[in-house]
Amino acid sequence: MATANREQIIELDVRTDELLVNMGPQHPSTHGVLRLVLKTDGEIVTHVEPHIGYLHRCAEKIGENLTPRQWIPYTDRMDYLAAMNMNLGWSLCVEKLLGYELPEKARHIRVIIAELGRIASHLVGMGTYGLDLGTFSPFLYAFREREKILDLFEEVCGARLTNSYITPGGVTGDLPAGWLEKCEAFLDQFVPVITEYHTLLTTNAIFIQRTAGIGVISREMAIDYGCTGPVLRGSGVDHDLRRDGEERYTEMYDGYAFEVIVEKDGHYPRDHDYPPVPPEAVLGDCWHRFYVRMLEVMQAIDIVREGIEFYRASSGDWGHPIKLNTKLPKGEVYLETECPRGQMGFYLVSDGSAIPWRVRARSSCFCNLSVTEELCRGCLLADVAAIVGSLDIVMGEIDR
């Protein structure tokens, strides 16, 4: 046999069979009930197919049979790690249809609550990402702090996870006496804790090796797939609905000073306070998505502090929820808000009665997850968990 062909022969000789690996739906690193069907050639993943729908609860169909306020508890159960932000999106959508003007005080309550929700959600995202990569302790640290935010939520509305606090027309009740002081005390002790997280994960050599340069989403790919939130900003796209969104949403943040967390010319805003970007990291990789979340936590703390000052200075009413059977004007509205995981949109079609004709929830994770098919093609089997974890998905929101 000709020697020239020898290399080819050897390659054919050691080729392994294609193996079908079923990951999930009960796999710890799939964040709920996601099933990934992987085709692998040795250690290399050649094809990934996500199967979703295990948590489908017909939320849109139920919304066609309930009034908007009755549907609020169903929004809680979409992204159950950021229930407050889900309530906010639906409330704003209904208020947009009603043309409701929100009192000043309710606006600041909503900002404080929504940003606390963002911190709590990103803490879970950070902790579970550590779990995906095989380190257990950051999870415990993250849940310790999240617990304190849940305690604050409990004091405000009685519920810890499925809050139903923000409703069309305002919120269900004013902040209780002494709550602001407790919130400030929490923020004061929380700031130094973040340094611990950076030591545990952000600057950890093993963590950087597992995440830097892995699962790179380019700008164009992120926009094409409709990725939003930290996934989009981690790819260097300067887009945040708190600044760029619809007026009804951005006016909530009027007077608040904050920067969109996105890399510009190799620098993140205020990144002198944080550990620098390691040289191995590429814009759009898992590490950058994680980093954007960490910086958003810091930024959310500042916004909550601003909100507390604004709330103290504001006077008047905190807003009252609309009546349960308020008649909706005929028409249709669509509104997206910047939730911790991306842009959550609600679409409401009304035929003029108290019950919407059609309710539609546009899920951010639904679009973020659709990118895995292309992203995981050709990566190592062990990196699938790292990539899916870095998208920070919640199945409740995807399946609705």
Partner 1 sequence: MSEGPQFLDALKSRFGDHIRGVNLDNIDPWVEVAPEAIVEVCRFLKTDPDARFDMLNCISGVDYFQPDPAKAKRAGFEPHLEVVYHLSSTITKHTLVLKVILPRWKDDQPGQLPELDSVAGVWRTADWHEREVFDLMGVYFRGHPGLKRILLPEDWEGHPLRKDYELPLEYHGIRGR
Helix (H, G, I), strand (E, B) or coil at 362: strand
Q: Which of 147, 151, 196, 244 binds partner 1 (CB under 8 A)?
A: 244
CB of 189 to partner 1, least distance (A): 37
Closer residue to partner 1 (CB): 283 or 349: 349
Closer residue to partner 1 (CB): 236 or 278: 236
Closer residue to partner 1 (CB): 105 or 289: 289
Residue 380: how many CA atoms within 13 Å on its side-chain side?
Answer: 7
> Other CB atoms closer than 10 Å to residue 353's CB: what's the count?
12
Binding mask 7-46 for partner 1 (x = CB under 8 A): ----------------------------------------
CB of 56 to partner 1, least distance (A): 5
In order, the DSSP letters of 41-110 are ETTEEEEEEEE--TT---HHHHHTTS-HHHHHHHHHTTSTTSHHHHHHHHHHHHHHHHTPPPPHHHHHHH
Q: Which of 80, 143, 256, 347 binds partner 1 (CB under 8 A)?
A: 347
Closer residue to partner 1 (CB): 199 or 353: 353
CB of 319 to partner 1, least distance (A): 21
Beta carbons of 216 and 285 less than 8 angstroms apart: yes
Q: Which of 10, 19, 58, 161 binds partner 1 (CB under 8 A)?
A: 58
CB of 260 to partner 1, least distance (A): 12
Closer residue to partner 1 (CB): 160 or 248: 248
Q: Which tokens belong to 312? A: 């103290």
Residue 252 binding partner 1, by CB under 8 A: no
Q: How far apart are CA 388 and CA 316, in angstroms?
A: 46
Residue 25, preceding peptide bond in cis (omega within 30° of 0): yes
Reported as type and span, the H/E element at residue 117 is: helix 104-132
Closer residue to partner 1 (CB): 6 or 51: 51
Q: How many residues bind partner 1 (CB under 8 A)?
A: 38
Q: Based on C-alpha coordinates, what's the Rg of the chain?
A: 22
Give the CA angle between residues 82, 163, 57 to the nearest 5°: 70
Q: How far apart are CA 344 and CA 363, in angstroms?
A: 5
Amino acid occupying residue 395? M
CB of 66 to partner 1, least distance (A): 15
Amino acid occupying residue 43? E
CB of 55 to partner 1, least distance (A): 9
CB of 339 to partner 1, least distance (A): 14
Beta carbons of 343 and 228 less than 8 angstroms apart: yes
Reported as type and span, the H/E element at residue 381 is: helix 381-390
Give the binding range for partner 1 (CB under 8 A) out of 32-40, 139-147, 159-167, 365-373. 365-373
Closer residue to partner 1 (CB): 58 or 193: 58
Q: Which of 69, 96, 288, 289 binds partner 1 (CB under 8 A)?
A: 96
Q: Which of 6, 10, 19, 61 binds partner 1 (CB under 8 A)?
A: 61
Residues ≥6 apart with Cβ < 8 Å to 353: 327, 328
**Nearest Cα residue to 389 out of 211, 129, 17:** 129
Q: How far apart are CA 178 and CA 156, in angstroms?
A: 11
Residue 349 binding partner 1, by CB under 8 A: yes
Q: Which of 45, 82, 97, 328 binds partner 1 (CB under 8 A)?
A: 97
Strand order across the beta sheet in which 331-339 lies: 331-339, 342-350, 358-362
Q: Which of 66, 223, 354, 380 binds partner 1 (CB under 8 A)?
A: 223
Segment 286 to 345, residues that bind partner 1, using CB under 8 A: 331-334, 336, 343, 345
Residue 370 binding partner 1, by CB under 8 A: yes
Point out which residues bind partner 1 (CB under 8 A): 52-53, 56, 58, 60-61, 96-97, 223-226, 232, 237, 239, 244-247, 331-334, 336, 343, 345, 347, 349, 351, 357-358, 360, 362, 366-367, 370, 399-400
